[in-house]
Chains A and B, each alone.
Chain A
């Protein structure tokens, strides 16, 4: 799909990231939670909590039986949601409620490919757009395998967020950047989602290489869990993606009573605020050159 066939509509996600960079001089905070965890209604409350406490972009996960790019925390939440009977179509209800609540917040759906394949890529894009969704993040779909999704997302003006990894070759970076709409998801390290004490130094290099391949907006995720890490990554990335650290306060071995659930939401709010402080202080101390203008290795096209 070349840029020529792209409809004139802009990506809400990249518009927002551009605006945050230009007007607030800061990166975006992208927060992940799975649909239906621990129940569909409570997942809506949790997402509203993220929004109320400083998340700029929501990443809504569809629980899947075989999440090969997820670590134990997200696996456990996804399994709990599936056990509680979550259905793929619940994502559309959650999207509608969240976009009614916060129309300015782009909501991307993160899903492994098979649920979309089963639903039908075109039907999924249609229903996603109708429910107010901004697009998809597809951890196990590379652009090479995605012609159906690229066509459907183009037809409905949706973002398609593909991933790049420290192992990506320059050629693959270019290919992925070309196919992406919204932002490129840079995996901070080689591994699966989770909470890690340190995020590799490879993230900064990967962001630089991805920009060299032509990307405008590059967000970094995998393993990021604290405000301090967010701040550090926010120096060089256009957005910071946090998942497991937001899921973790909501995990429990059994069903939670209303009071316990309220406590969990309070904890979730605290974690979110810590992360939100990270993006808001990322560039205040060191007024670096604007993102994208730093010299980067890699040959010119």
Chain B
């Protein structure tokens, strides 16, 4: 292992994590998928076609934006901290999710399958999948927890506009994990005609490795861009971590740069002590869910505990196995960010930079603010007293979250005095 770079470690295992904990019925399809993935990765035609789509359809490379006014709130004094945003929010469909979707959809074409299924939480992955299905003339069914179809109603309509069937999942906690259960059940029954286009770096091998591969472009672009703009590598890379795809995508290019701190931010929900969170590294333990061994929120019996977050995309009780491995190696750190902190950072970016982020991404922004403040308090700077350089993955845009934000901040006429956070909880039935 000593000569394998961290960024190139392949599945099925990342340390003791990962694997294939799924029914035997799916193993043949996973083996076929892995073989096709490895062949495609070495096929110049596939690589060129994906690059073309990235450029002409998605709009890559996504820009790198320095946010000076926002950074002032992180450093205490102007210029103490420089914050750069990797603008995955400007991708077609509004998030990083499209990178993985286009890669897998091209594989599906090669495999000759005609039907795509996917799970979605925030709806971003579902929208990206419905988009690719429209583009490539594939049938598309999206499973979404009923709870999430309410929180992210706009994205439900988007998926339907794009021609996808959206199936609200009404069992269990009615969120992302239950949507994945339903998608897996569909896949077991229809595996010969259907590809399960899993949306993050979780699930059975080869998904964690394959989805990382399709997102590594985020970090590769960002590394070049920041070297070009700042003349050096960042001191810190920050990203939000749901399943972990945007975080792994940006971390990957820096994994072998020892001097770069990699910081993942999970949903702290209403706080770790409240039990209402999705902080797997603070409140989870070794477990198996949806095909992979990783950190898992579970009770003493190994039953999955419901997660909680104001952001549907981070509301998942497990996390990609590569993150569990990086956590244990000490190569990356993971901290919770509460709903309140995330919404403050969300608002701050709107007001200081004219950018409305996804609430998921706002967790990374809150993390950057925390890092900046801690650095200021401890007198930490970049090398030779230079400003501390923080690179944040802005994984998505916040259009889908405007209704939530409007209620959170009381922005709608007639909502006398605004709806307090507690009220929002009550309305969403999660109090």
Q: Which residues of A contact B (CB under 8 A)?
A: 64-69, 71, 75, 79, 82, 87-88, 113-119, 139-142, 144-145, 162-169, 172, 176, 187, 190-192
Q: Which partner residue on chain A sits nearest B302 by CB separation?
A: A118
Instruction: Give the CA-CA distance A87 to B28 in the complex, in Å.
Output: 34
- Of the listed stretches B242-250, B267-275, B281-289, name the one at the interface; the rest are far from the partner chain: B281-289
Measured CB to CB, the closest approach of chain A to B58, in angstroms, equals 32
Q: Which partner residue on chain A sits nearest B189 by CB separation?
A: A191
Is B304 a contact partner of A65 (Cβ separation < 8 A)? Answer: yes
Q: Using known A-B contacts A71-B185, A114-B302, A118-B302, determine if residue A165 contacts B287 with beta carbons closer than 8 Å.
A: no
Contacts of B171 in A (CB 8 A): 75, 79
Is B24 a contact partner of A142 (Cβ separation < 8 A)? Answer: yes
Q: Which partner residue on chain B sits nearest A72 by CB separation?
A: B171
Is A66 a contact partner of B23 (Cβ separation < 8 A)? Answer: no
- From B21, B185, B287, A145 is in contact (CB under 8 Å) with B21
Binary interface encoding of chain B residues 313-357 relative to chain A, with 1 for a CB under 8 A from any of its CBs, else 0: 000000000000000000000000000000000000000000000
Contacts of A190 in B (CB 8 A): 25, 188-192
Judge whether B19 is part of the interface by a CB distance below 8 angstroms: yes
| Apart from the given pairs A65-B172, A142-B24, A163-B25, 4 other A-B contacts in the complex at a CB distance below 8 Å | A115-B302, A117-B286, A168-B28, A191-B189
Selected A-B contacts with CB under 8 Å, 20 pairs: A69-B23, A71-B185, A113-B288, A117-B286, A117-B287, A117-B302, A118-B287, A118-B301, A142-B22, A142-B27, A145-B21, A163-B24, A164-B24, A167-B24, A167-B27, A169-B31, A172-B27, A190-B25, A190-B191, A192-B189
Judge whether B153 is part of the interface by a CB distance below 8 angstroms: no
Contacts of A75 in B (CB 8 A): 171
Within 8 A of A (CB), among B244-300: 286-291, 293, 296, 298, 300
Instruction: Give the CA-CA distance A187 to B26 in the complex, in Å.
Output: 12
Instruction: Give the CA-CA distance A145 to B304 in the complex, in Å.
Output: 20
Q: Which residues of B contact A (CB under 8 A)?
A: 19-29, 31, 171-172, 177-178, 181, 184-185, 188-192, 286-291, 293, 296, 298, 300-304
Instruction: Give the CA-CA distance A198 to B19 in the complex, in Å.
Output: 34
Contacts of B25 in A (CB 8 A): 163, 165-168, 187, 190
Measured CB to CB, the closest approach of chain A to B278, in angstroms, equals 15
Q: Using known A-B contacts A65-B172, A142-B20, determine if residue A115 contacts B303 with beta carbons closer than 8 Å.
A: yes
Measured CB to CB, the closest approach of chain A to B111, in angstroms, equals 14
Contacts of A140 in B (CB 8 A): 21-23, 288, 291
Is B177 a contact partner of A191 (Cβ separation < 8 A)? Answer: no
Measured CB to CB, the closest approach of chain A to B199, in angstroms, equals 17
Instruction: Give the CA-CA distance A148 to B419 in the complex, in Å.
Output: 52
Instruction: Give the CA-CA distance A106 to B290 in the complex, in Å.
Output: 30
Is B302 a contact partner of A88 (Cβ separation < 8 A)? Answer: yes
Instruction: Give the CA-CA distance A142 to B20 in the complex, in Å.
Output: 8
- From B24, B26, B172, B191, A66 is in contact (CB under 8 Å) with B172
Instruction: Give the CA-CA distance A140 to B192 in the complex, in Å.
Output: 19
Measured CB to CB, the closest approach of chain A to B301, in angstroms, equals 4
Contacts of B290 in A (CB 8 A): 66, 68
Q: Which partner residue on chain A sits nearest B22 by CB separation?
A: A140
Instruction: Give the CA-CA distance A35 to B172 in the complex, in Å.
Output: 18
Measured CB to CB, the closest approach of chain A to B95, in angstroms, equals 26
Contacts of B291 in A (CB 8 A): 140
Contacts of B26 in A (CB 8 A): 167
Contacts of B191 in A (CB 8 A): 167, 190
Q: Using known A-B contacts A87-B301, A141-B21, A168-B24, determine if residue A66 contacts B181 with beta carbons closer than 8 Å.
A: yes
Measured CB to CB, the closest approach of chain B to A181, in angstroms, equals 16
Measured CB to CB, the closest approach of chain B to A147, in angstroms, equals 11
Measured CB to CB, the closest approach of chain A to B13, in angstroms, equals 10
Measured CB to CB, the closest approach of chain A to B87, in angstroms, equals 35
Is B188 a contact partner of A69 (Cβ separation < 8 A)? Answer: yes
Is A66 a contact partner of B28 (Cβ separation < 8 A)? Answer: no
Measured CB to CB, the closest approach of chain B to A108, in angstroms, equals 17
Contacts of A114 in B (CB 8 A): 287-289, 296, 298, 302, 304
Contacts of B303 in A (CB 8 A): 64-65, 82, 115
Instruction: Give the CA-CA distance A139 to B184 in the complex, in Å.
Output: 13
Contacts of A163 in B (CB 8 A): 23-25
Is B28 a contact partner of A145 (Cβ separation < 8 A)? Answer: no
Q: Using known A-B contacts A66-B177, A163-B23, determine if residue A191 contacts B188 with beta carbons closer than 8 Å.
A: yes
Contacts of A144 in B (CB 8 A): 20
Contacts of A71 in B (CB 8 A): 185
Is B24 a contact partner of A162 (Cβ separation < 8 A)? Answer: yes
Contacts of A118 in B (CB 8 A): 287, 298, 300-302
Instruction: Give the CA-CA distance A172 to B26 in the complex, in Å.
Output: 12
Q: Which partner residue on chain A sits nearest B287 by CB separation?
A: A114
Contacts of B298 in A (CB 8 A): 114, 118
Is A168 a contact partner of B188 (Cβ separation < 8 A)? Answer: no
Q: Which partner residue on chain B sits nearest A62 by CB separation?
A: B301
Measured CB to CB, the closest approach of chain B to A198, in angstroms, equals 14
Is B24 a contact partner of A169 (Cβ separation < 8 A)? Answer: no
Question: Which of B20, B25, B177, B287 has most A Cβ within 10 Å?
Answer: B25
Measured CB to CB, the closest approach of chain B to A51, in angstroms, equals 27
Contacts of A164 in B (CB 8 A): 24
Contacts of B28 in A (CB 8 A): 167-169, 172
Is B301 a contact partner of A145 (Cβ separation < 8 A)? Answer: no
Measured CB to CB, the closest approach of chain B to A80, in angstroms, equals 12
Instruction: Give the CA-CA distance A46 to B361 in the complex, in Å.
Output: 51
Contacts of B288 in A (CB 8 A): 113-114, 117, 140
Contacts of B22 in A (CB 8 A): 68, 140, 142
- A-B pairs with the 6 shortest C-beta distances? A118-B302, A165-B25, A115-B302, A191-B189, A114-B302, A167-B28
Instruction: Give the CA-CA distance A88 to B287 in the complex, in Å.
Output: 16
Question: Which of A66, A113, A116, A139 has most B Cβ within 10 Å?
Answer: A66
Q: Which partner residue on chain B sits nearest A86 by CB separation?
A: B301
Instruction: Give the CA-CA distance A213 to B25 in the complex, in Å.
Output: 17
Contacts of A145 in B (CB 8 A): 19-21
Instruction: Give the CA-CA distance A280 to B140 in the complex, in Å.
Output: 46
Instruction: Give the CA-CA distance A164 to B304 in the complex, in Å.
Output: 26
Is A176 a contact partner of B24 (Cβ separation < 8 A)? Answer: yes
Measured CB to CB, the closest approach of chain B to A247, in angstroms, equals 15
Contacts of B21 in A (CB 8 A): 113, 140-142, 145
